[in-house]
Structure 1
């Protein structure tokens, strides 16, 4: 921590620069001289190596919190932060400005460009059907999201998402209600299961399956689908009715060995996609297959798994080690308490697709080369972080933030500023002490090297923990 004395010395150096020097050479000399004074003072206090003040000033500790939120009055949003910016005097979209304070009046730590890393499902085109609806996100609306695409779907009680299959795998998280899923694999083994809110299902590429809302909830069911290809389109699904409507009737009769020429006279002339039907019985069983049932379940009861409780929230992690069928997608279901945050981290080889289930938060993405951008998220929003980009997730509201971190990989993996393969997840701001989860990394690095980078004093360095801090609280 920089003492007030040294802060004043540095401000003095800046003042010298501001009032001096028409000539570049004299300005440079002033910077070097003033920086040297500050370096000398701090050096004597911390016994550090020579500090790099001749080229780089100290980072600012000025607050950079969001300046308003979605509950603020309509006159709150203004593209101003401190002395920067100016009010809007032309037309503006106040509801969007209220939801995106860190885009409209960004933190001074933001710099450069990262591309758009936020997409609200509310802006996706919705396909309305009798019995439900579906809306999607892919690279057409979020070009940076090349590794994964998603569909948000709703089925009324009894409504069916017809028998179909995809080129990609399908992973799902049930948001509300219960969905009955059926499937048959390439060996003729079949499968049926009821998937409740908070539970998962997974179907490999090319595996035929169906989805139907049960009567457990009067509203039916709603779920989130993830596909491991950013160019995926729900409109290009292989549908049973779409296929058979394009096969001559005599070919169908020959294929199914039916002599009745009218047997296929009532096949729909085009795809059904989503359509109403009767609610399936609670004890519905799949037909007995001579080949048996699928041995590896296509569903996983995440809702019954105990979360790992942390001082700043909780986490559940599911990948192929616990859900073997899920060979292409893994997930972390994360809760973050008000005032807490998901620690600074990155994912070494996997893009992260995030979905906000409840609450509000913000995320700053560091894309290297001084590029950093902060985004605000509300329930129903999608976030996306390309592999290796550093980021955190902070709860900016007064209620619990709950969201999914989804990866196009069979294993969950992240690296924190703690150490490789760290399972540190949450930290809370408790004051000026260094209690963050990267404390171990710094504590196990030679003090002189830490001082040369961060200008920390001996007292601060002594507080760094040399053992892994799974949760900081």
Structure 2
């Protein structure tokens, strides 16, 4: 991967937890100083492993499952409880402060990419929170004798990933519709043609989302994500398949062009113009997170229609007849055909 202030490798990041039970890698503002409002985690769980019950202090969580089958349980405010399974191609959403756990109930390794709605996420674990309370306090809480907790090992440190003994307890209600769950793989792509597609987990289709969203973007080798920018919206993406080139323009006028491969992630500040295209392989697959429930988007193609040819001629300092014949564009296409080779 080329060196860039906008990108780094999530796959090669030093794990902040690693054992035979699984591992957790993350990219926050510590690893990528320019981050704002978003960060990423890569969670791997071996069969029978559990991401311990915990809650996030300063950001909601939006997760996409690439492989495996996991059981997710969420306890939120107002005694709202949810429990459901998530398989490859599905997503889940957890509000800040909601207690939740993720448990691999399948026979294969589970891989999830998780975005947190803060560049420096913080959390508490249930294990650590029990360690903060005395035997008497816990006894009073559960209407038990204090001695009931003397044999319960606890301290104020997290466990991260723990091992389940025996078979998982799977509720009979897991197939019911749940506001925290979304079938990204099963949706019809709002944007789709021969050179690419975009599936969109946003509040238009998933009302539970309050301040986050995610796109699953596929671009063929003869396609390109048109140059564009996102007003009031930051973007953080993860490369799942293929190799890509991305260019980002800074307000200073400096241009950052870099290459991405599977396991890499990148960050684009709000309103920074940028562009993505496939440079190796038959297509690229990205999961792209945004800090808005409905990402805002302005594309170069519509921009050339919105401005009159007189304005464009004056802008570029040429006669109007010397301008390219920009196609009239009513709606930005998002993905365009790459008629020309990478230059």
Q: Same fold (TM over 0.5)?
A: yes
Structure 2 residue ranges without an equivalent (≥5): 338-343
Aligned to 2:89: 198
In the TM superposition, residue 273 of structure 1 has moved relative to its aligned partner by 2.0
Aligned to 1:155: 45
Point out the more displaced range, 332-341 or 387-396: 332-341
Instruction: Sort the Cα spacing of 1:320 and 1:140 in 2 relative to 1 into closer, same or farther, 3 A.
Output: same
Note if contact 2:301-2:329 (Cα within 8 Å) is conserved in structure 1: no
RMSD (Å) for aligned C-alpha atoms:
2.5
State how far apart, in whole Å, the 1-side matches of 2:277 and 2:177 are: 41
**C-alpha deviations, 1:413-448, integer Å up to 9, x for none?**
1111234xxxxxxxxxxxxxxxxxx55346xx13x4
Instruction: Sort the Cα spacing of 1:319 and 1:463 in 2 relative to 1 into closer, same or farther, 3 A.
Output: closer
1:298 equivalent to 2:180? Answer yes
Of residues 141, 159, 164, the one that matches 1:255 is 141
In the TM superposition, residue 119 of structure 1 has moved relative to its aligned partner by 1.0
1:333 equivalent to 2:195? Answer no
In the TM superposition, residue 325 of structure 1 has moved relative to its aligned partner by 1.6
- 2:281 is paired with a residue of what secondary structure? coil
In the TM superposition, residue 246 of structure 1 has moved relative to its aligned partner by 2.6
1:184-333 equivalence runs, <5 A = 184-215=75-106, 218-232=107-121, 236-259=122-145, 261-269=147-155, 270-277=157-164, 278-280=166-168, 283-285=170-172, 297-307=179-189, 308-333=191-216
**C-alpha deviations, 1:177-234, integer Å up to 9, x for none?**
111100122111211111111211111110111110111xx323110111111112xx
- 2:127 is paired with a residue of what secondary structure? helix
Instruction: Sort the Cα spacing of 1:330 and 1:223 in 2 relative to 1 into closer, same or farther, 3 A.
Output: same
Aligned to 2:238: 355
1:4-19 equivalence runs, <5 A = none
In the TM superposition, residue 264 of structure 1 has moved relative to its aligned partner by 4.9
**C-alpha deviations, 1:113-133, integer Å up to 9, x for none?**
xx7001101442211134111
Of residues 413, 417, 421, the one that matches 2:296 is 413
Which of structures 1 and 2 has the larger relative contact order (alpha carbons within 8 angstroms, sep 6+)?
2
Note if contact 2:244-2:261 (Cα within 8 Å) is conserved in structure 1: yes
Point out the more displaced range, 166-175 or 462-471: 462-471
Larger strand proportion, structure 1 or 2? 2
State how far apart, in whole Å, the 2-side matches of 1:456 and 1:231 are: 50
State how far apart, in whole Å, the 2-side matches of 1:463 and 1:205 are: 46
1:116 equivalent to 2:5? Answer yes
Instruction: Sort the Cα spacing of 1:264 and 1:194 in 2 relative to 1 into closer, same or farther, 3 A.
Output: farther
State how far apart, in whole Å, the 1-side matches of 2:332 and 2:136 are: 69
Aligned to 1:48: none
In the TM superposition, residue 327 of structure 1 has moved relative to its aligned partner by 1.0
Note if contact 1:173-1:199 (Cα within 8 Å) is conserved in structure 2: yes
1:125 equivalent to 2:6? Answer no
State how far apart, in whole Å, the 2-side matches of 1:117 and 1:462 are: 34
Of residues 420, 440, 443, the one that matches 2:305 is 440
- 1:359 is paired with a residue of what secondary structure? strand
Larger helix proportion, structure 1 or 2? 1
State how far apart, in whole Å, the 1-side matches of 2:265 and 2:323 are: 38
Aligned to 1:385: 268
Note if contact 2:299-2:332 (Cα within 8 Å) is conserved in structure 1: no
- 2:293 is paired with a residue of what secondary structure? coil
In the TM superposition, residue 364 of structure 1 has moved relative to its aligned partner by 0.7
- 1:262 is paired with a residue of what secondary structure? helix
Note if contact 2:92-2:180 (Cα within 8 Å) is conserved in structure 1: yes
The count of residues paired between Structure 1 and Structure 2 equals 329
- 1:321 is paired with a residue of what secondary structure? coil
In the TM superposition, residue 295 of structure 1 has moved relative to its aligned partner by 8.8
